Each structure stands twice: as structure tokens, then as C-alpha cells.
Structure 1
Amino acid sequence: MNLFVFGLGYTALQFIHLYGHRFTGVCGTVRSAEKEKTIEAKGIQAFRFAGKDFDPAILQKLERTDALLISVPPAEGRDPVLEQFSEAIAAAPRLRWVGYLSTVGVYGDAGGDWVDETTAPNPASTRARQRIAAEQEWLELGASAPFAVQIFRLSGIYGPGRNALVKVTDGTAKRIVKPGQVFNRIHTEDIAQVLMASIEQPSRNTIYNVADDEPGPPQDVINYAAELLGQEPPPEIPFAEADQTPMARAFYEDNKRVRNRRIKSELGVTLRYPTFRDGLRGLIQAGEAASVRKP
């Protein structure tokens, strides 16, 4: 089985690292020649794709693709993959599974209440509205195609090299407190096993929330990371006084708890890291931030 990935970024590369051996061939796209060299040094064949500028060899690869993972966000209001390759994807003779990585941000603000895949999206930002539009385009493509399309709405992603342990270690962690605020998270290993489970037993045009079992306040994650490292946590900063970029502040406008029952009941997934505490402990055990970890 051959895997092709549009967008060989952090999450996709984590998936390949864990499950690449399950595929006969693995390749995908990058935006620059520099990234192409970096990816191919990892043993993954890479092709340039930057909007309308793309390597025509991609079309040949799609003809031999069995599983297609899309990790490219909308650009200028359009899905760039569908804009350039929808006909080639629809005609791909071997294709049986398509996975599109979206975001739980499409649900918007729920005032801290629970949402699931049956909850109507209520996107507050332009980015989230573009995600909903892209999801719908992929589902429409799948409705008339012989392959199965899956939408994976990802929570806040963390994993090796990108987590609260790193932020506490390098001094960039902020303990911002907004009463009642919770965020949803997911470890990259659990994203990867959800994707692999779906490839092994695809459903037609299904949406999955990919989140752990315990939404929680962001300051609690920083506290626990500091505790694991044997450090004092950074001081608490009231949200109204925090110096944040507009994008960072926008994350606090959405407050919801994301249910993950479907990945368990339909895909049979048992989360390796059901809470952020499990995930951070696992990262410590794997050597994350080893130079400053608690003796």
C-alpha cells in the first residue's frame, strides 16, 4: 500500500515515523527546495507544491496512491490541494482512503460545554470558516467516489519537541489564567494511531474528533510540566493583562470540551496518552528536556 501526503509537516512526519513501515512506499509534498532536501534526508521522497507551482511528478504518484493524507490548510479561501488536483484524485485508480486533517476550531465557542461530531459547527474566525468549507469540499468529492473520505478534527497538538516541557525549559512558557477557560489536546502518537486505525477500517465520509479524555485549563499544563522538571512555574498572568499576539488571544475566544467517543467506538482506539499528564510523563521518559529534568 502506497501513502502520499500533501503537506509533510510536523504531524504527518510523526505519523510516518510511527507507521511508515506499514506502507510499501511513502512520499509527499513540501513548499521549498530546502525542505525537500531535509525531508529526503529522512528517507522520504518529496515533491515541491506551492499553490499553482508544483512538480508534475505528483500526478504520476497519485496514480499509484492507495492512501492519501492531506495536511495542507486552506489558502486565500480555497483548498489548494483540491484546486490543483481534484480531478487527478477523483480518477486515481488505486485510491481507497483519503484523510483530511482539520481542527476542532470549527465548533467555535460553546461556553465550556461539551461538543461532539453531531454538534453543528459555529466557526468564529475566517480561518475556521475556511476549514468548514474545505471539509465540505472533501466530503462532496468522496460522496461520488469509490474511496472513503475521513475528516479528522484535531485538538491542540503536542508531542516530541513541541510541548510545555520545552516551553518551561527555554523560558517561553506563560501561565495565563482566564477563569473557566479550558483547552483540548492530543498527543501526536494518538493522532497517528487514529489515522492508522481509520486506514485499516475506513468508513465512508465520516468525521472524527481527535482529542484526549481531559480538557483542562492551560495553566495546569504549565504547572505540571514545571513540576516534572523540578522547576518553579512562571508567575500567573491574568488574561486581560497578558501580552499576546492577536492569533494567540483568538484561541481564548473558543471555550469548549471535545468528546472523543467516536474514535473509540468506531475505530477501536485506546488512547496511549488519555490526559496531558500521561503525555508529559511519556515525553520525559523518552528523554524530552533531559538536560533539566528532575533527578
Structure 2
Amino acid sequence: MVPTNAPSGRPVALVAGASRGLGLLVATELGRRGHDLAICSRDEQSLERAAAQLTAQVPGVTVLTQVCDVANQAQVATFVERTEAQLGSVEVAIHVAGIIQVGPWQATRHEHFEQAIDVMLWGPINLSLAVIPRMTQRGHGRFGVVTSIGGKISPPRLLPYSVAKYGAVGLTEGLSAELAGTGVTATTIVPGLMRTGSHTQASFFGDARRQYAWFAPAASLPLLSMDATRAASRMVDAVLAGKPIALISPLSQMASRVHGLAPEVTLRAMGLAGRFLPRGDSPEVVPGEQARSRLGSRVVNTLTTLGDRAGRRTNEHP
């Protein structure tokens, strides 16, 4: 979608990975706070659906979309250049794009790490290199990266994910220090599990059915996961305020603090939890929807009801 009324005089926010899920909610929140939007993802159809949803929910907003792989530095640079040419200077840039791979160490392969690092570490690096120099030249800007509690504590069955998120935490915290006094801020956003419907978009390996059976309910049940709309609002609050770090959920706050105070105890607890989770050595990667179909469990489907509802609202289940 090419904007027809830009520049509008409204501040411009760029959200990488905003075609569905949490990214779409973050973009919606920024639009409601008066920003025009530039959003990207790798899938053109999901971008078109997201743009239609944004314009319907946020009257008067201008939405620019572009197919862009955040792992590709040239594509990210082109996206930023096009945004500033058509909408105006980017005041806010938030990297949300991510992938979830769930499986045991025995089935983990090099490509799992490569895929995770490409999206969730090179993605923020590429966006920071494209947008922050423009912000510092103007003397103002807000940059944020959605990391994860998995970037503070490495839980079992999510090793490639955590490796990438640990890197993203280091990048954003380091940028916060580097940018002090420039008028540009960098916010490390640390959520826990959120109900976005992402369990159907995640990938599972090493007995995919059993991995899905524990992860999908954990990402859907209220005591374990947070309402994603509320999480998105807190994220935008933190980035616009220029906070260096935002621990979004009570679970992320507690886990981060416990790990800081007692790291050995935390690691032993993670090891104990890993003993109870399913194993398997098959490297076959199974998409969440297919894993759910293979599992065929009414109990698990019932436990993921809230997550499925969230997914329908956030373009995860178009």
C-alpha cells in the first residue's frame, strides 16, 4: 500500500515484523498515539491484511508497507530510505520480527541457530545501522528491540531462540550506553510469554507433537502468558519515554531479578524443568498448525482457546 496523503505532519513510526501478532499490536498502538506507520514483513499478503486492519482501526493513519527480510541489510536500508522519502523522518523504530523454534538439544542443527540469529540478531543490527545514524544527525529518536526473557534466562527447548535473544539484549543495552547524550535512546524490551496466537506459527522438532503439547498451552494460559494488547501498550510506553530497559510482564520481572541474584539456582531450576519436558532426536521441522493436527488432542485445543482467539485478532490465523 502506497500512502496517498504523506507527508501528513504526523510523527513517523517504523515497525519491523508488523504484519501479524505482537508487531501488528505495537503498530496499532503507535497509530492510535498519532503516528503514521511504516511496516514490513516477508509476506506480502499478510502485510496487505495488516494494512487494511490498521486503517480500519486507526482513522486517519497513513500506512506504508514493504516486503522486507530483516536479515538482509540492503533490504532494510531500502525500507528506511523509502519510509523517510514518502512519510518523513522516522521518529520511532521498533524491531519486533522473530521466529520461535521449539525442540531439544539432541535434534538441534546448525540451520536452527542460523535462522534464529538471522532474524532476531542480524535483524535488529541491520535496522539500527539503517535508522540510528539518521536519528543522531537530527538529534532525536526512539529505537526499541523486542527481546525476551529468553534473552535473560535460557530455558530448555528454546536454545537457538535464546542465543539470538541474548545477542539482541547485548546489542540494545550497548546502544543505550553508546547513545547517551545524543538525544536518541535505545530500549531493551523484555517480555515473557504473550497470548498472540504464535503457537501456530512456531516451529517444532524432536517429536513435534509432544513439543507442541506443552508449548501451546504455556503460550495461551493466563497464569503463564500475558495479554498481548496490554503488553504492546507497555512496550510503546517504554520506547516513547526513552527507558533503557522495559521488563514487561510480572513473570519477566521476577525471573530476571531471581536470575540476577541467584544465577546458579536459576540454572539448576532450568535443568530440572528440562528433565520433565519431552525429548526426541528428529530434526524434522513441523509448523505449529501441522503439529496441532498431528497431535489431535481436544484437551490441548481447549487449553489454547485464548491463544487461538488472540491469533484471530492479530492476523496469526487469517
TM-score by length of 1: 0.55
C-alpha contact (below 8 Å) 2:97/2:119 kept by paired residues: no
Match of 1:59 among 58, 81, 101: 81
Rounded Cα–Cα distance in structure 1 between residues aligned with 2:146 and 2:252: 21
Distance 1:96 1:88, change over 3 A: closer
| Counterpart residue number, 2:47 | 36
Q: Shift of residue 95 of structure 1?
A: 4.5
Match of 2:143 among 98, 113, 120: 98
Match of 1:202 among 217, 233, 242: 242
| Counterpart residue number, 2:96 | 71
Matched residue of 2:90: which SS?
coil
Match of 1:139 among 173, 189, 198: 173
Rounded Cα–Cα distance in structure 2 between residues aligned with 1:125 and 1:241: 15
Q: Shift of residue 84 of structure 1?
A: 6.0
Q: 1:134-174: CA deviations, max 9, x gaps?
A: 22223333333331111111111105x568xxxxxxxx995
Rounded Cα–Cα distance in structure 2 between residues aligned with 1:57 and 1:77: 18
> Which consecutive residues of structure 1, in runs of 5 or more, have no partner in the other structure?
112-122, 164-171, 177-181, 216-237, 249-279, 289-295
Rounded Cα–Cα distance in structure 1 between residues aligned with 2:121 and 2:163: 11
* Structure with the larger strand share: 1
Letter of the aligned partner of 2:187 in structure 1? Q
C-alpha contact (below 8 Å) 1:69/1:98 kept by paired residues: yes
Paired positions, count: 210
Distance 1:134 1:97, change over 3 A: same
| Counterpart residue number, 1:150 | 187
* Structure with the larger helix share: 2
- Structure 1 vs Structure 2: percent identity of aligned residues? 9
C-alpha contact (below 8 Å) 1:104/1:153 kept by paired residues: yes
Distance 1:69 1:94, change over 3 A: farther
Rounded Cα–Cα distance in structure 1 between residues aligned with 2:278 and 2:188: 37
Q: Shift of residue 106 of structure 1?
A: 2.4
- 1:246-265 equivalence runs, <5 A: none
Kindly report the root-mean-square deviation, in angstroms, between the aligned alpha carbons of the 2 structures: 4.5
Tell me whether 1:190 sits opposite 2:230 in the alignment.
Answer: yes
| Counterpart residue number, 2:263 | none
Comparing 69-78 and 238-247, the one that deviates more: 238-247
Rounded Cα–Cα distance in structure 2 between residues aligned with 1:40 and 1:196: 19
C-alpha contact (below 8 Å) 2:151/2:162 kept by paired residues: yes
TM-score by length of 2: 0.52
- 1:198-277 equivalence runs, <5 A: 198-203=238-243, 206-212=244-250, 239=276
